[in-house]
Amino acid sequence: MSLQTPTSAPEALSDDELTLIDKYWRAANYLSVGQIYLLDNPLLTEPLAAEHVKPRLLGHWGTTPGLNLIYAHLNRVIRNRDASVIYVTGPGHGGPGLVANAYLEGTYTEVYSGIGEDVEGLRKLFRQFSFPGGIPSHVAAQTPGSIHEGGELGYALVHAFGAAFDNPDLVVACVIGDGEAETGPLAAGWHSNKFLNPAVDGAVLPILHLNGYKIANPTVLARIPHAELEALLRGYGYRPITVAGDDPATVHRELAAALDDAFDDIADIQHAARGGTQTDRPVWPMIVLRTPKGWTGPKEVDGKHVEGTWRAHQVPLSETHDNPAHRAQLEEWLRSYRPEELFDRGGALRPELRALAPTGQRRMSANPHANGGLLLRELDLPDFRDYAVPVEAPGASTHEATRVLGTFLRDVITRNPDRFRLMGPDETASNRLSAVFESTDKVWLSRTEPDDEGLAPDGRVMEVLSEHLCQGWLEGYLLTGRHGLFNCYEAFVHIVDSMLNQHAKWLATSRELPWRQPIASLNYLLSSHVWRQDHNGASHQDPGFIDLVANKRPEISRVYLPPDGNTLLSVADHCLRSRDYINVIVAGKQPALAYLTMDEAIAHCTRGLGIWEWASTATGEPDVVLACAGDIPTQETLAAADILRRELPDLAVRLVNVVDLMRLMPDSEHPHGLPDKEFDALFTRDKPVIFAYHGYPWLIHRLSYRRANHANLHVRGFKERGTTTTPFDMVMLNDLDRFHLVMDVIDRVDGLAGTAALLRQHMVDARLDARRYTREHGEDDPRIATWRWQSNR
C-alpha cells in the first residue's frame, strides 16, 4: 500500500495515548466479534465450547474493524475539542461495531436497561445480535446514535449533508464504504458540497474507507491508481488526506494526525466564512483511509487468505459451532484482543478506557442530533386560511393550485429560517411554487453570472437535478429534527422509490422504540402530473408512486389528492404539522377549476371524502355514484355530471370526491379507513359507482375490495396511454374523459342502455368530434377546454 505522510505532524498521539486508543479499538473489536459469534462465556473465562457459540452465524465482520477504528479516533477529537459530532455509517453492515461503541460509551445501557455493564449484560448484548427477538444485524433505528441504516447502499453522504444543513455547530463524520462509493446516489452526493454554506451550516467530514472489497469483488475506487483517485476527489471539490497501512501503531498515529488536520481545517473554514472574510465555496477536507478488510481477524482459514480479502466480508469462520478447529481459531482470535486488559472481572470497561469516550450528549451514540425528535421545534405556521382563493361558486373560476400553495410556503419559509427547507430537482419554478422566491433564494455556493436569478449561499430552496440528492438531503434534515417538503415531477419521484422504502422502514421501526422521539413527516408535493405533461409526453407520465406508498405500513402512509387550491392549502397545513408519516400530495400546476371555499375545503379535507351536494341530483338514494379523486378526474366527473343532469334529469346522480385516499380502506386496515357503514352510506351497497381516479385504476380496487358494493365499482384511470398531446386528448386516450364517463353510466345503470341509447351515441360522436378538432387545430375544442360548472341551485 502506498503511504502518504499526512500534512500534520504525526505527534498528534503520544505513546500513552496510542496504547490507550489501541486498547479501546480492541475492546470495540472484541465486542463486535462477540456479538457475531457468542451466546455465552462473554469474557472467555472458560475455554470456548460449542454451546457458547451461536448455531446460526449472521453478520458482517469485514467492515467492522475500520468502523471501530474511526470511532475511537473521533472520540479523541471530540474530547480534545468538545466537538459535537455524529457518525453516519455508510457500511451499515457493520452493525456490531456501532452497537459495541454505544455499549462502551454507556449509552446502550441507558437506552436498553436490560443490557447492563456487567458480565450478564455482555452475554445479553452478544446473544441478542442477529438473534430471533433481538436486534438486526445492521446499524438500524434500534442503534443509538444512528440516523442511517446503510442496508441499501448509496445514501450515507446525502444523509450526512442533510444533517449538517442549519446545524452550524455539528460535524457529521460520514464513513463511506468503497462498495457504496460505486452507487449512483453516492457518486452524485459528493457534489453536495456545492450546497453547504459554511456560514450557517455544519460540516461534513467524508471518510472514504477503502478496504478494497465488496461482497465478492474488489472495488473500483480501491483499484484505480491513487493519483486518479486523488484527482477524482479534488475534482469533486475536496482536499483528500490519505491514511494507509496495516500496522496498527502507524495507522493510529497517522489517522490521529489526519483527523486533527481535518478538524483544524473545518474550524478555519467556518471561522473565515462566519467572520465574513471568505465568501467563495471552500474546499473541504476529507479522509481516505486504506486499511485491510477484516483487519485483526483471522489471516487464513482453511488454507485461504481471509484478512485483507473479500473472504472477510461476512463471517470469516463459518463452522465454529460444529468444527472444533474453527472454534479454536475463533477463541484465538477473540483472545488476541486480550479482553482481560479491557474489561474487569465484573465485565465493566476499565476506567482508563472509559475515560477515552466523551461524556453525556457529546457521545456520538447519545448526540441528540441523531434522535432528531428530541430537538424538534414546531414549525411556526401562518394561518393557511389567509391564503385562500375566493370561490364565488363551485367550478366557476380557475387557478393554479400549486401557485396558491407557493404563497403559503413563502411565508412558512420566512417564519422558519432555521428549520424548514424546500427541495426540488430544478422544478420548484416549473411546479409554480415561485412565490417562495419572494422570501428566499436557491442555495448556491458556486460562481454566479449576471443572468442568474435568485441564487445565494443562504437560500432555503435546494435545487439540484437529482431526485436522489433531494430525497437524501431531506431525509437527513428530518431525521435530525427539522422540517421540509420535496416538490417533484410526479413521474420522476419513482427515482427514489427504494429510498422511500428504506425511510418507511426506519419510521415504522422508530415508532416502536420509546426512546426515539417523533420526527417531522416526509412530505411530497407531486406536481407536473400525469395528466398535464404538455411539454414532455410519455416519459413524464407515471402516477405509480401512490401505489408504492400504499404498500407501506398503514401507520405511516398517507396519500392526498386535493382537487383544488383551497383543499391543497388545507392538506398541506395538515401534513406540515404531522409526525412520523410519509405524506404524498398530488396536485396540478396548470389552471384548473376551483370548487370549495376555504371553510368548505377544511370541512371536506377533515372528512377526507364526501358528497358534493351541489353537483349531485340525487337527494336520497342515488341511481349511480360518480366518484372522483384528483384534480383532472374531478373536473371530468363534474363535466359528466353536468351532461347527465341536462340530458337525463331524472337520473339520481350522487357525486363523491375523495381527498384522502386511505379513507377507501377498511378501518381495520388503516387508521384513516372508513367504517363499512359510512362507506356504504356514501357509495351505496348496490348501485353502480363510476370512479374517475388520478392514477392506475387497480389501486382503487385494491383499497376497496372488501366493501359490500365492490362488484359494482368501475374505475377509470391512467392505463399507460400517453404522449405529447393536448389535455383533453390525454384523458380521452385513457377513457377518463367526461363523455366516456357518461357512457360508463349508461352502460352500468339498469335500464339506461335502452332509454339513453341516443345520448350514448352522442357521447361517442362527441369523442370523435373532440379528437378530430384536436388533431386539426393542435389544441382542444374551446367548448371543452373552457367548460365551467354552472350551478343549478
Beta bridge partners of residue 487, listed in sequence order: 525
Nearer to a second copy by Cβ, of 47 and 537: the residue is 537
Phi then psi for 375, rounded to 5 degrees? -100, -5
State how beta strands 84-89 and 653-658 pair: unpaired
Contact pattern for a second copy over residues 565 through 604, marking x by CB under 8 A: ----------------------------------------
What is the nearest approach in angstroms of a second copy to the Cβ of residue 695? 9
Q: In a 3-state reduction of DSSP, which class is residue 472?
A: helix
Cβ at position 70, least distance to a second copy in Å: 21
Residues 280-339 contacting a second copy, CB under 8 A: 305, 308-311, 314
Q: Give the Cβ contact number of residue 397 at 10 Å.
A: 15
Q: How far is the CB of 196 from a second copy (least distance, A)?
A: 13
Which one among 468, 483, 604, 654 touches a second copy, defined by CB under 8 A?
468
Pairing of strands 483-489, 522-527: parallel
355 binds a second copy (CB under 8 A): no
Which of 774, 784, 787, 789 binds a second copy (CB under 8 A)? It is 774
- Chain centroid to Cα 173, Å, comes to 20
Q: Which of residues 10, 168, 218, 666 is near a second copy by CB under 8 A?
A: 218
CA 244, chain centre distance (Å):
34
**Does position 452 bind a second copy by CB under 8 A?**
yes
Kindly state the cell numbers that stand for 61.
465482520
How many Cα atoms sit within 13 Å of 344 on the Cβ side?
A: 10
To the nearest whole angstrom, how small is the minimum distance from the Cβ of residue 24 to a second copy?
27
Q: Is position 463 an interface residue for a second copy (rule: CB under 8 A)?
A: yes
Give residues 169-188 in contact with a second copy (rule: CB under 8 A): 179-180, 182-188
Which residues are CB-contacts of 168 (< 8 A; sequence separation ≥ 6)? 199, 200, 201, 202, 270, 274
Task: Find the binding residues for a second copy in span 141-170 (CB under 8 A).
Answer: 149, 151-154
> Which residue in 8, 41, 211, 219 binds a second copy (CB under 8 A)?
219
653-658 and 609-611: which strand pairing?
Answer: antiparallel
Residues 654-713 that bind a second copy (CB under 8 A): 696, 698-699, 701-702, 705, 710
Q: How far is the CB of 641 from a second copy (least distance, A)?
A: 26
Q: Which of residues 30-49 bind a second copy (CB under 8 A)?
A: 39
Residues in Cβ contact with 781 at an 8 Å cutoff, skipping those fewer than 6 apart: 728, 769, 770, 773, 774
| 129 DSSP β-pair partners | 135
Point out which span in 26-34, 67-75, 351-359, 768-776 binds a second copy (CB under 8 A).
768-776
10 Å CB burial of residue 390 (0-12, 13-18, 19+) is exposed
Q: Is 59 in the site for a second copy (CB under 8 A)?
A: yes
Instruction: Report, in Å, the least distance between residue 776 CB and a second copy.
Output: 9
- Which residues from 188-217 bind a second copy, rule CB under 8 A? 188-191, 194, 214-217
234 binds a second copy (CB under 8 A): yes
Q: How far is the CB of 381 from a second copy (least distance, A)?
A: 27
Interacting positions 515-544 with a second copy (CB under 8 A): 534-540, 542, 544
CA–CA gap between residue 229 and residue 454 (Å, rounded):
35
| 29 vs 44: CA distance, rounded Å | 15
Instruction: Show contacts with a second copy in window 89-128 (CB under 8 A).
Output: 92-93, 127
Rounded Cα distance between 421 and 15, Å, is 47
Residues between 470 and 489 that touch a second copy (CB under 8 A): none
CB nearer a second copy, residue 165 or residue 213: 213
> What is the identity of the amino acid at 3?
L
Establish if 55 lies at the interface with a second copy (CB under 8 A): yes
Residues 390-409 that bind a second copy (CB under 8 A): none
302 CB-contact burial (10 Å; exposed 0-12 / middle 13-18 / buried 19+): middle
Are 771 and 669 in contact by the 8 Å Cβ rule? The answer is no
Establish if 22 lies at the interface with a second copy (CB under 8 A): no
783 binds a second copy (CB under 8 A): no
Q: Is the CB of 110 or the CB of 555 nearer to a second copy?
A: 555
> Three-state SS across 674-700?
ECHHHHHHHHCCCCCEEEEECCCCHHH
Answer for which of 26, 505, 604, 687 binds a second copy (CB under 8 A) is: 505
Is the distance from CB of 489 to CB of 528 less than 8 angstroms? yes
Question: Quick check: 51 binds a second copy (CB under 8 A)?
Answer: no
Give residue for cell 417538503: 485
Give residue 635's Cα distance to chain centre.
32
Burial bucket for residue 430 (CB in 10 Å: 0-12, 13-18, 19+): middle
Alpha-carbon 109 to chain mean position: 29
Closer CB to a second copy, 447 or 793, in the complex = 447
Site for a second copy in 708-737 (CB under 8 A): 710, 719-720, 722-726, 729
Task: Pick the closest to residue 400 from 528, 264, 233 (CA basis).
Answer: 528
Query: By C-beta, is 77 or 208 nearer to a second copy?
Result: 208
Q: Indicate whether 547 belongs to the interface with a second copy (CB under 8 A).
A: yes
Segment near a second copy (CB under 8 A), from 428-436, 586-594, 617-625, 740-748?
A: 428-436
Given candidates 1, 9, 231, 753, which one binds a second copy under the rule CB under 8 A?
231
CB of 545 to a second copy, least distance (A): 9
- Could you tell me which residues are beta bridge partners of residue 653? 624
Nearer to a second copy, 365 or 533 (CB): 533
Q: Where are the beta strands (DSSP E) in 295-374?
A: 300-301, 304-305
Choices 7-15, 79-87, 108-116, 551-559; region in contact with a second copy by CB under 8 A: 551-559
Please pick, from the candidates 606, 779, 790, 791, the single residue that binds a second copy as defined by CB under 8 A.
779
Other residues' Cβ atoms within 10 Å of the Cβ of residue 512: 10
d(CA 554, CA 8): 53
